[in-house]
Amino acid sequence: MNNLLQKSFRMTQDSSLWSRLEPPTLGPDEIHVWRINLNVSQSYLDYLFCLLSNEEKNKAQRFRVAKTRDAFIARRGLLRILLSRYLTCEAPDLRFTHNAFDKPLLESPSESYELHFNLSHADDVAVIALSRNDVGIDIERVDATYPCLTIAEEFFADHEIFVLHALPRSEVVRTFFRYWTAKEAVAKAIGIGLSISLSEIGLEFLEGKPGGHANVLFPTCDVWHFYHLEFGPHFIVAVASRKPVQHVIYSDILEF
């Protein structure tokens, strides 16, 4: 298992990726991760709403809290714009379906390559992962008041609980969220979300590396791979894939 992150593995921040985005920019051994600010102007929010399907518009209008509704519109609209750049199509023309656990999927594969995506959000920040293979992503705000050890003892594997208890108090919170994001990302990559017990996903971090592998005991009984990104001191992001990748490229979308 020591060679799961190949010697050529790279984690790159690339602010020019958006301007260069044309198929087949996304390589078969790459994951692209995008960070998006969901605070957009009202006029731009109105434009994003027009990009949505009727089903998405109806869902948006069912939210009673304006901020929650606007964040949903921003996430779905910006996701459509991003995917349309990869697939060279119009954003409103994209069609989505869902698996049995409500994971959104593109209804029709691209003529250029099969594109997989996953989205997560925390506060006013959304992250989107794109890959040519199964992919999952999770972002969490690091909360020093969170009852990390109590939650870990309910949802983590025994060896992970042991690690947390052995850490200095100053390291417990951040390590807990590294575990949590990796587990959620793997569950989302598999496509079953939190219908799986997080204790069934056993993590092994590779020393000195930004990721590791996850031994999934149920329902797949196989190995997945995860990689961590830290967008500043307040957020931790994990991205997971079925296959090990050579390059994770992450970027902010500054303008559309």
| 135-173 confidence digits (pLDDT tens) | 999 999 999 999 999 999 998 999 999 999 999 988 999
The pLDDT value given to residue 103: 82
pLDDT of residue 38: 92
- Low-confidence stretches of the chain (pLDDT < 70) are 1-8, 23-24, 108-113, 193-194, 219-220, 254-256
φ, ψ at 244 (rounded to 5°): -65, 145
* pLDDT computed for residue 117 by the predictor: 95
Q: How many CA atoms lie within 13 A of 126 on its CB side?
A: 21
The pLDDT of residue 114 is 84
Give the sheet arrangement for strand 211-216, strand by strand: 135-141, 235-241, 222-229, 211-216, 201-205
Measure the CA angle with vertex 67, ends 62 and 72; round to 5°: 60
Structure tokens at 69: 């509704």
Q: What phi and psi values does residue 190 have, to the nearest 5 degrees?
A: -65, -35
- The span from the CA of 23 to the CA of 87, in Å, is 7
Residue 117: which of 69, 57, 188, 211 has the closest Cα?
188
Domains and CATH numbers, the chain: 10-252 (3.90.470.20)
Segments of 25-124 assigned E as strands: 30-37, 96-98, 104-106, 116-122
Cα angle for residues 118, 119, 123 (degrees, 5° grid):
165
**Predicted local confidence at residue 10, as pLDDT:** 82
pLDDT of residue 1: 41
Nearest Cα neighbor of 216 from 186, 252, 255, 175 is 186
For tokens 């939210």, the residue is: 63
In this predicted structure, what is the pLDDT of residue 25?
A: 80
